[in-house]
Amino acid sequence: MSTEIMEFAELIKTPRVDGVVLHRPFMPTVEGTLCLTGHHLILSSRQDNTEELWLLHSNIDSIEKRFVGSLGHITVKCKDLRVIQLEITGMEECLNIASSIEALSTLDLVSLMYPFFYRPMFEVIEDGWNSFLPQNAFKDLESMTDEWRLSEVNKDFSLCPSYPPLVAVPKDFDDETLKKVATFRHGGRFPVLSYYHKKNGMVMMRAGQPLTGTNGRRCKEDEKLINATLRPGKRGYIIDTRAINVAQQAKARGGGFELEANYPQWRRIHKAIERYNVLQESLIKLVEACNDQSHSMDRWLSKLEASNWQTNVKEILTTACLAAQCIDREGASVLVHGTEGTDSTLQVTSLAQIILDPGCRTVKGFQSLVEREWLQAGHPFQQRCAQSAFSNSKPRHEAPVFLLFLDCVWQILRQFPCSFEFNESFLVLLFEHAYASQFGTFLGNSAAERARLCLPEKTVSLWSWVNRPQELERLTNPLYEPNSLVIWPSVAPQSLLLWEGVFLRWNRSSKCLDEAYEEMVHIIEYNKELQTKVNSLRRQLAQLETEDPLLHTP
Amino acid sequence: MEHIRLPKVENVKLLDRISHRRRRVGTLYLTATHTIFVESEAGVRNETWVLHSLVCSVDKLAATPSGCPLLIHCKNFQVLHFIISKEQECHDIHLSLQRLSQPESYDELYCFSYKPNVDEKERRQEWDFLDLKADYSRMGLPSSLWKLSPVNQHYKVSDTYPADLFVPESATPPVIVGSSKFRSRGRFPALSYYCKDNHAAICRSSQPLSGFSARCLEDEQMLEAILRSNPCSDFMYVVDTRPKLNAIANRAAGKGYENEDNYSNIKFQFVGIENIHVMRNSQQKMLEVCELRSPSMSDFLEGLESSGWLKHIKAVLDAGIFIAKAVAEEGVSVLIHCSDGWDRTSQVCSVACVLLDPYYRTLRGFMVLIEKDWVSFGHKFSHRCKHVVGDPKEVSPIIDQLLECVWQLMEQFPCAFEFNERFLITIHNHFYSCQFGNFIGNNQRERIELRVHERTHSLWSYLWANRTDYTNPLYRPNHSQTQGLLRASTSPYSFKFWKGLYNRFDHGMHPRQSVEDYLRAIQEETQQLEEHTGEGLHYIREVILILWLITVHSYYKSKEKKKIPPGCFSAFDKSPTVWAPGNNLGLANTPQDYTGGFITGSPCQPKGPDSILLPKSTNQISDASFSNGSDQESGIADLSCRSPLSEDSTRDPDSDEAAYSAA
């Protein structure tokens, strides 16, 4: 703790101010003492614990300050899209607080992040860092097929810095060949197994773009590897998440796409999923639209449209559905890639699995999916989630790629409300923790970085916290009934809704909707209670009957 | 029957609205009352029934090599796209349907031939199901402040008003008659809702004939009387629901609005709801957006915005909220009018009532509300819903907007309404279907002339009899959300597009699992369990008693054996839950057209520059082996069977079978 104080002390100009007034959406105004610690902004009225505010500095996206006389107003805009106001008397205090918050919320050094200082106040039942080890996931695959093996070729992250140490590859390909293929793929991301469809043995693979360049470079090993994943007489689809013209332009920078002449058993489909700053722009515009106070319907609809957020949701979901359709309905294998293979590619492969695989619709299965297809697969969380919708600084690598994925999951959940073991709260929780968290799960940009930071040793996993009965109860969908089928969502604009639970969460009271949810839980709980009662009556009756032979009818 | 040129056409194709590649082949029948399409797929007998009175338009499109397309748009937003192979047959069906769907007189309407298996006594009882006087006495009327006035008996003062009206106690017949002469169509201010807790009232009328300067002493006295009927308040609101410009324009025609200087203690207010023509065009534009075949998100949102539909819904809800707050929070009485006082006025009165009074959020209460503010106060149903052939400029979806406002509120307050979305959609269907007599004609006087109560059936008792289908499982009468004034949000983002109504027949767009159905099934099971645990406990007590008796009498006394009651617990021997949502899913759920035609080789797919490199043979294989149309089609068919909303137009009426066999 003392080192923490040492490191942050110089950043905290005023650690404590009395008489600060806090305004939060849908909560009563609180007057109390504001304290700044290395990682938290705390406001406490010291009367009632429920009126305390504990805000992680890392959750702060931007702040604004203004003065009316000597009364300072600080508007704190959070990455979870909440906006709170602080009123501080005294210009100097206010300026000090504001600049301290600014400095503390923009610390770049990972090792100073809160997860390295956080000590859990709960008993860890199961260490989340060991819950989803790749070798365990591979055991399931082995039980279904022997066509794949786990390769340790990337053990020291030298072949592909964004891949995990263990990847599943076709059995007949040795590590030497993989090394050659890696040189032909963006970021060394050679094709690896993402999903095996048990029903018909079709597979989904993902990779980085092939480095064909302008003169159409080929790689025999790459062609062989991809073809080897097809069964005799079968064909496959390459889903390129970029529009054809974008893929064409990539050639000039050494990238490109698979020429069908070189991959004759494969057919290529281009889909236009947006990336990077276009997505960040879209998020910023959407949140701005949601916070517009003009009360004009035309303005709202046109801003919603102009944000393109719903368009992005539709495009991503449609592409995922297409991948799933190729696998399940066409009986074809699929290779998905965009440019790097760390963003839109993962959106598509993970959503397709939710559609195809009932296992991914359970709490544990979904965690495993996030672990496999996002964390292990090298989605650069730290870069993408560094800033959210209120950031004033120019976006560098920020993009709400993961949030869009969660939004798409929510859309499917809305359409199949009984097919998911988890509820909306779980998705919102993942959104929050991806952007700011006391847990180490979403720190770093790749498995390599996480290994270097020794996260499993130095931080607590989000899963350790989530997978305890009291948290699970809150995140479990009371309507869940396991559904072993493939679920095909509708992608019509009418069917895709704005995710209120995230985007309107702080703009309107959710009291009535929460009450409706509680009512629903109550109806189901009461039913279960009665079921138990009937069963116990049944047992009593059976017992009475065996005790008294006379009760048996002849 | 004389209008049916061709009763039956074989080999007709019915195209799926979204994906024209999915089609069903069958036989088309025309009967006196319905168009029926019977799918001739082996094994399944899939029927689509469309009431002629629900047909909005029939269009014959230019013939194509595969046949002659016939497009039928229905008032319940169903769209049917048939392909009839012979042009002559298509022509005959077209002409027949055009005539059949546009009755020239009221006597042709379906309600006069609709004869379910109900005897005359029961039929008469149907009409006694709702009693408006009972609702007024629920409000505490008549009272020392408000009286039932006989002034409009035989519709002498206003022929579009009901015979029974409540007016202020102090309003004398000369004042009422005088006021009525100063109001369009004689629609003088009368009571719509009375809040007995604070004496505030909602009154309604048509516009005053004030022109630029005209005054009417009796009308001023009438408003004074309304104000005085609320002893707690020293002023009242007069709300003109029109945009100010429209109201000013009316002055030139000798109509207009109240001058605040002439009426004592009124606060005058415009709320700016557009007229029937704007609403008609707006809905038309919105429906065009709904009908786009595979719109992009931008197509949809831009179209929705430019239709203005949600803006109008918001305007109606905003007006309702203003009035509800005036009554509930300020305790101030309100007089509402528009031009004639039967469109916007009805909307705003009803929305305010729904917000104010939990009773109108119950099944029965909502029926009463429609009966009160719409049927009795003379909303011109037959003109607005085009029940008989007439001026197309009179048609307007005013009543649709009321239902949508209520639906928007249900989305915000899921526990506050006793009824569900299905209830609203069913009512919507029957505003247009002419199956029941309730909405025939334009006012009470016309309905009496048509002897609707003697000759037809009532929708309300039908809905009540089937109320389990229309009940919201989340509703609790004692829930805090259910009590008192609903504090609705009208921020633009609080409004949703009502796909349940406007895309009602596009089953693929709706959630594939219904939370509501699931909860209803759970509740039914719970009810059974409650009964059985009661029975079970009772039974176990009996068994224990017998055992005790047996011990006491040392077995020899009694040889009688207590039999286990049949049926006890048996309901639960089969499965732990009566309804498992996943069970039907396999049939219901098929992929949509995610490919933009790629997989089935549609020409609209943009080809990459290097697609010429693709060997030709591969392309052909793709076309042949990758088409999964038939598979998807069967899924769609099953989906329509499953959806509980899809069939109320076809399944409910008893006489449908009769009509079909008559054909």
- State chain A's mean pLDDT as an integer: 92
B493:A290 CB<8 A: yes
> Least CA distance to B520: which residue of chain A?
A523
> Least CA distance to B537: which residue of chain A?
A537
pLDDT of residue B631: 30
A553:B563 CB<8 A: yes
Top mean pLDDT of A1-15, A134-148, B52-66 is at B52-66
A133 vs chain B: nearest CA distance in angstroms? Answer: 31
A281-290, A463-472, B81-90, B614-623: lowest mean pLDDT where? B614-623
> Least CA distance to B314: which residue of chain A?
A297
A523:B525 CB<8 A: no
Q: What secondary structure does DSSP assign to A496-551, as a single string?
A: ----HHHHSTTTS--HHHHHHHHHHHHHHHHHHHHHHHHHHHHHHHHHHHHH-GGG
In chain B, pLDDT over 90 holds for what percent of residues? Answer: 70
Give CA–CA dist B538/A541, Å, rounded. Answer: 11
What digits encode the pLDDT tens for the residues B440-477?
999 999 999 999 999 999 999 999 999 999 999 999 88
For Cα atoms A111, A113, A115, give the angle at the middle one, nearest 5 degrees: 105
A488:B290 CB<8 A: no
B511:A417 CB<8 A: yes
Q: What is the average pLDDT across A423-442?
A: 97
What digits encode the pLDDT tens for the residues B347-392?
999 999 999 999 999 999 999 999 999 999 999 999 999 999 999 9
The B201-205 sheet, strands edge to edge: B190-194, B201-205, B334-337, B236-240, B266-270
| Burial class of residue A361 in the structure, from the number of CB atoms within 10 Å of its CB (0-12 exposed, 13-18 middle, 19+ buried) | buried
Residue B350 annotated as lining a ligand binding site: no
Of residues B348 and A122, more confidently modeled: B348
Q: What is the average pLDDT across B263-292?
A: 96
Q: Is the pLDDT of residue B434 over 80?
A: yes
CA A109 to chain CA centroid, Å, is 22
Q: What is the average pLDDT across B75-95?
A: 95
pLDDT of residue B589: 64
B515:A520 CB<8 A: yes
Of residues A377 and B538, more confidently modeled: A377
B-chain residues near A325 (CB < 8 A)? 591, 594-595, 599
pLDDT of residue A551: 54
pLDDT of residue B412: 96
B526:A530 CB<8 A: yes
Closest CA to B264 of B224, B205, B217, B210: B224
User: CB-CB: which of B415, B492, B496 is closest to A300?
Assistant: B492
Of residues A109 and B414, more confidently modeled: B414
Q: Which of B56, B338, B385, B434 is catalytic?
A: B338
B628:A330 CB<8 A: yes
Residue B338 known to be catalytic:
yes
What digits encode the pLDDT tens for the residues B476-503?
888 887 788 999 999 999 999 999 999 9
> Least CA distance to A418: which residue of chain B?
B513
Burial of B450-462, coded b for 16+ CB within 10 Å and e otherwise, reads bebbeebbbbbbb
Q: What is the average pLDDT across A162-181?
A: 94
Residue B343 annotated as lining a ligand binding site: yes
Q: Is the pLDDT of residue B531 over 90?
A: no
B81 vs chain A: nearest CA distance in angstroms? Answer: 20
pLDDT of residue A538: 82
Q: Is the pLDDT of residue A554 over 60?
A: no
A482:B611 CB<8 A: no
A376-385, B107-116, B407-416, B566-575: lowest mean pLDDT where? B566-575
pLDDT of residue B275: 96
Contact between residue B236 and residue B265 where contact means Cβ atoms under 8 Å apart: yes
Q: Is the pLDDT of residue B588 over 50?
A: no
Give CA–CA dist A68/B116, Å, rounded. Answer: 75
Q: How would residue B610 be classed by pLDDT, with cut points 50, 70 and 90?
A: very low
User: CB-CB: which of A259, A318, A516 is closest to B613?
Assistant: A259
Residue B261 annotated as lining a ligand binding site: no
Task: Region of B439 please: left (phi>0), alpha (psi -120 to 50) or beta.
Answer: alpha
Residue B550 annotated as lining a ligand binding site: no
What distance, in Å, lies between the first and last C-alpha atoms of chain B? 10
Q: How would residue B645 be classed by pLDDT, with cut points 50, 70 and 90?
A: very low
Q: How would residue A548 be classed by pLDDT, with cut points 50, 70 and 90?
A: low
A102 vs chain B: nearest CA distance in angstroms? Answer: 32
Q: Is the pLDDT of residue B612 over 60?
A: no
φ/ψ of residue B474, rounded to 5 = -85, -5
CA A508 to chain CA centroid, Å, is 24
Contact between residue B591 and residue B632 where contact means Cβ atoms under 8 Å apart: yes
B-chain residues near A245 (CB < 8 A)? none
Q: Is the pLDDT of residue B644 over 50?
A: no
State the residue for tokens 């017949």.
B173
B569:A538 CB<8 A: yes
| Prediction pTM value | 0.90
Angle formed by the axes of helices B309-325 and B398-412, nearest 10°: 70
B536:A416 CB<8 A: no
Q: How would residue A134 be classed by pLDDT, with cut points 50, 70 and 90?
A: confident
What digits encode the pLDDT tens for the residues B89-106?
999 999 999 999 999 999
Q: Look up residue B481 and give its DSSP letter.
A: G
pLDDT of residue B35: 95
φ/ψ of residue B202, rounded to 5 = -105, 120
pLDDT of residue B551: 58
Give CA–CA dist B25/B41, Å, rounded. Answer: 7
User: CB-CB: which of A301, A416, A418 is closest to B305?
Assistant: A301
For Cα atoms A51, A52, A55, give the angle at the middle one, nearest 5 degrees: 140
A-chain residues near B577 (CB < 8 A)? 481
A551 vs chain B: nearest CA distance in angstroms? Answer: 6
A-chain residues near B511 (CB < 8 A)? 414-417
Q: Is the pLDDT of residue B582 over 60?
A: no
- Read off the tokens for B192: 């719509």
Q: What is the average pLDDT across A214-230?
A: 92
Q: Is the pLDDT of residue B579 over 50?
A: no
Q: What is the average pLDDT across B203-221?
A: 96
Selected for mutation to probe chain A from B506, B507, B528, B529 (highest A CB count within 10 Å) is B529
Residue B83 annotated as lining a ligand binding site: no
Single-letter amino acid, residue B363: L
Residue B340 annotated as lining a ligand binding site: yes
| Residues in CB range of A107: below 8 A, 6 or more apart | A57, A58, A113
User: CB-CB: which of A298, A515, A541 is closest to B481?
Assistant: A515
In order of A36, A324, B440, B442, the CA distances from B448 in angstroms are 77, 61, 10, 11
| Residues in CB range of A543: below 8 A, 6 or more apart | none
ipTM for the complex? 0.94
Q: How would residue A13 be classed by pLDDT, with cut points 50, 70 and 90?
A: confident
B302:A507 CB<8 A: no
Nearest-Å Rg of the Cα atoms of chain A is 26
> Least CA distance to A310: which residue of chain B?
B297
pLDDT of residue B468: 93
Contact between residue B458 and residue B438 where contact means Cβ atoms under 8 Å apart: yes
In 10 A of CB B62, how many CB atoms? 6
Selected for mutation to probe chain A from B282, B496, B592 (highest A CB count within 10 Å) is B592
> Least CA distance to B624: which residue of chain A?
A330
> Least CA distance to A484: which residue of chain B?
B582
User: CB-CB: which of A325, A520, A530 is closest to B591?
Assistant: A325
Of residues B598 and A246, more confidently modeled: A246
B415 vs chain A: nearest CA distance in angstroms? Answer: 6
What digits encode the pLDDT tens for the residues B154-179?
999 999 999 999 999 999 999 999 99
Residue B176 annotated as lining a ligand binding site: no
A496:B506 CB<8 A: no
Give CA–CA dist A173/B85, Å, rounded. Answer: 58
B510 vs chain A: nearest CA distance in angstroms? Answer: 7
Give CA–CA dist A237/A332, Å, rounded. Answer: 7
> Least CA distance to B582: which residue of chain A?
A483
Q: What is the average pLDDT across B315-332?
A: 97
A53 vs chain B: nearest CA distance in angstroms? Answer: 27
pLDDT of residue B550: 61
A475 vs chain B: nearest CA distance in angstroms? Answer: 17
Contact between residue B136 and residue B109 where contact means Cβ atoms under 8 Å apart: no
User: CB-CB: which of B509, B577, B598 is closest to A269?
Assistant: B598
- Read off the tokens for B458: 């009532």
Q: What is the 3-state secondary structure (H, E, C) of B32-71?
A: CCEEEEEECCCCCCCEEEEEHHHEEEEEECCCECCEEEEE
In chain A, pLDDT over 90 holds for what percent of residues? Answer: 79
Q: How would residue B577 be classed by pLDDT, with cut points 50, 70 and 90?
A: very low
Selected for mutation to probe chain A from B285, B587, B599 (highest A CB count within 10 Å) is B599
